[in-house]
Structure 1
Amino acid sequence: MSTETKFASNVQDLSNSTGVDAGFQFEFYCERCRDRWRTAFKPYRSAQAGGWLQKGASLFGGILGNAGSVLNSMAEAGWHSARDTAFKEAVEEGKRHFNRCGNCHDYVCRQCFDGANGLCFDCAPNVQVAITRSRAQGEVYSASQRANDEGQSRGLRHDVRKEMQLVCPQCRTETHGAKFCPECGFKMAQQVQCQACPTMLEPGTKFCTECGHRQA
């Protein structure tokens, strides 16, 4: 694969073929970090001249308009050749800003390239960076495990048998188990345990529905 073709896969053509702002400009990007570098704008004089004459024609008319059309036709005919030349120059200039990885063959910026090994940092990761990343990952993993253990310890202190109203029956607000609705103040119906067995009963129940014990 030629250099020109390879670079064409990571370049945006910003060139404009017509009008007073006609010219050539290309933007290349690093295939690792996606940072971008843009060539200096090079005006396409033939098209620019035609553009100015066309603008003049809108004010004065007559021969200016005809001359502008002729110049535009000439500029259009020479556009592709001029663009190819400008692109080749841009590629040569881009080589000074990008390096080609010897393994994956991607073009990367200087910050993403290990010049000593001729490889990008994806193919030859920086040892110190890898150590720091692994240490951080290990720290997160260890802290997560401890947090999980702490969560399990806290969970043992919750009464999971107790039923709670999670939505207020009056205004339908979520209560998250609160005794009173945080929106309207309605008192939630909290179940109570039977005085003789673990069965949970609705407030005001006179006899346990499980063991029949009379509630005081």
Structure 2
Amino acid sequence: MSNMIQFVANHDDLSTDRGFQFKFYCDKCHNGHMSQFQPNAIGIAGELMRAAGSFFGGSFSDAGSAAYHVQRAVGGKAHDAALEKAVQEGKQYFKQCTRCGHWVCPDVCWNHQAGLCESCAPDEHEELSAQQAQATSEQIHTKTRQQDYTKDLDFLSRGGLVQCSNCQSKLSPGQKFCPQCGTPSATQAKDKFCVDCGTTLKADQRFCAECGAKQ
């Protein structure tokens, strides 16, 4: 069996008590080939009868012996012979790369011109298309990072979201008083206003520049 380990290492054993079947997978893309079903006609009846006898004719402790006979019904020399036959069948649907040793499917993962798998000898056109697509994605990412999408937003100078300190109502940027309860906004509380017309005054202003009222 050692001469076929290189092929059967990547496979599923689908054998049952009725017969043997195996599925082999491409080492690169994992596409598979299902082997033909091989009925298990040699020795299965006797093994299953012995399994039934161990289970129904003996004590509960004999259940392990029954399981052993069931396992023999799907294993042993008949199983090995079926596997060897399936391997010889499956090899027709795969190619082995002489560079890396992997078995791959010829339709997707084999470079026929180079005589190697596409992991060792990528198809030039496919590789070029893949690299172009990757470069395009990277360039789009770089250019979008360089573009300023917030230059027209004045949220920093406006101080972001403002809430009334009394009733927590949302205030629009620049609002001096809360429209719900009349409380001066937090951003305007430190400002000085004219006592007559309400114009914003500088801290050291003694007269209003709009109406002339003394402050």
TM-score by length of 2: 0.63
Map 1:30-179 onto structure 2 (within 5 A): 30-46=26-42, 49=45, 76=72, 79-111=75-107, 112-150=109-147, 152=148, 154-159=149-154, 160-165=156-161
Inter-partner Cα distance in structure 2 for 1:164 and 1:81: 79
Distance 1:94 1:3, change over 3 A: farther
Q: CA deviation at 1:204?
A: 5.0
Q: CA deviation at 1:94?
A: 1.0
Q: CA deviation at 1:47?
A: 5.7
TM-score by length of 1: 0.63
Inter-partner Cα distance in structure 2 for 1:98 and 1:135: 30
Q: Secondary structure at the match of 2:82?
A: helix
Inter-partner Cα distance in structure 1 for 2:100 and 2:140: 36
Inter-partner Cα distance in structure 1 for 2:135 and 2:170: 45
Of structures 1 and 2, the larger Rg is shown by 2
Q: Which has the higher helix share?
A: 1
- 1:15 aligned onto 2:12: no
Inter-partner Cα distance in structure 2 for 1:193 and 1:41: 82
Inter-partner Cα distance in structure 1 for 2:73 and 2:159: 83
Deviations 1:83-140 (A, max 9, x none): 1111111111111011111111111011211233221101100000011112222222
Deviations 1:150-197 (A, max 9, x none): 3x2x22222223323399x9xxxxxxxxxxxxxxxx841345399xxx
Letter in 2 for 1:34: H
- Give the equivalent residue in structure 2 for 1:202: 186
Q: Which runs of no fewer than 5 residues in structure 1 stay unpaired?
A: 58-71, 170-185, 195-200
Q: Which runs of no fewer than 5 residues in structure 2 stay unpaired?
A: 54-67, 177-184, 193-201, 211-215
